[in-house]
Amino acid sequence: MATTEEVGVYELKKGNFSVKFTNWGATIISVVLPDKNWCESSVTLFLDTIQSRPTRMIQVTLVRLANRIGGAQFTLDGTTYKVVANEGNNTLHGGLRGFSDVWKVRTYKTEGFPGDLFVTVAYTLVGESYLSVRMRAKALNKAMPVNLVQHTYWNIGRHDSGDILSEEIQIFASHYTPVNSQMIRTGEIVSVKGTPYDFLKSYTVGSSINKLANGYDINYVLDGVAGKKMKPVANVHDKKTGRMMELWTTAPGVQFSTANFVINVTRKDGFVYQPHAALCLETQGFPDAVNHPNFPSTIVTPGQTYKHKMLFKFSVTAPSYI
């Protein structure tokens, strides 16, 4: 969707905690905080340009219907909608553009999806350690599927410290939604017990990653009831720096991925990102729910307000010599 709006960069700052973001895709550029030795650095994957693929989707607020749609189509109210296929025969993150445009709070109508959608995203610092993300959307004239996600990639050690395989993660989910060979949901909901997806207790990201073909890229069914109240999603801890990130949400699921597609991505300063350079925790509705009636519905009707909240808490353990 063409736009004449200019790209702007904005900063929220409290003490040593700062978040920079841009109106291009409502994108988080950096989250800077100190480590246990008071060294400040960004803990998000940092890119010099927002236009390159496949990295142009990193950090942005993604699409009216995030993740994959099997067969690039779905049926709603008796009408079959064929949307843009951009990953083989399937749709990933809303098609070729998604919401990767310059944002002003406005109406979007893109890539074969029904109706017009009014979307806002609000970033707020709460105290000196919390980042609140609130997404709201209204279907203006037709029922439509809505599944907004925040696609930030995190390396809690430091954005350029290498891979995240030694970082510890705990995910509060007893089940996940398996996929077929094309990464499309089968419609099943399966226990994580006895699988590489079991992070009910804290383990390093790399503890079982070699049991998977490429790394993690899977939707977890979060424990607890989705709705207005926040529930825990995950904790991520880096022992070297002492940094910890905790995440809560109102959404029913979370996509855990380990930047498997980031290969030889070179920044202007010469640093090169490689696979597993960061991890992503996208709180969300279940992917491809439009084609699986047993999944929680992602349909929003005209006049109804879609709400999705996330709360990130950042903390640091004290250095050993204190």
In degrees and rounded to multiples of 5, residue 97 shows phi and psi of: -115, -35
Helices and strands: H and E segment counts in the chain: 0, 28
In degrees and rounded to multiples of 5, residue 153 shows phi and psi of: -105, 130
Of 111, 175, 282, 308, the catalytic one is: 282
User: Sign (positive/negative) of CA torsion 259, 262, 265, 271?
Assistant: positive
Known catalytic membership, residue 282: yes
Q: Which of 200, 187, 278, 196 is nearest to 233 (CA)?
A: 200
| Run of H or E including 272 | strand 272-273
What token pair was written down for 259? 């930047």
- What is each CA distance from 165 to 97, 129, 206, 258, in whole angstroms? 31, 25, 4, 9
Residue 211: strand, helix, or coil = helix
Of 151, 237, 276, 308, the catalytic one is: 151
The number of beta carbons lying within 10 Å of the beta carbon of residue 111 is 19
CB burial of residue 63 (10 Å; 0-12, 13-18, 19+): buried
In degrees and rounded to multiples of 5, residue 233 shows phi and psi of: -110, -60
The number of beta carbons lying within 10 Å of the beta carbon of residue 134 is 15
One-letter identity of residue 285: G
Tracing tokens 């709400």 back to the chain, one arrives at 307
Q: Tell me which DSSP letter residue 260 carries.
A: T
Contact yes or no for 165/156 (Cβ under 8 A): no
The number of beta carbons lying within 10 Å of the beta carbon of residue 231 is 17
> What are the residues whose beta carbons fall under 8 Å from the beta carbon of 86, sequence distance 6 or more?
92, 95, 96
Known catalytic membership, residue 151: yes
Question: What amino acid positions are annotated as catalytic residues?
Answer: 151, 282
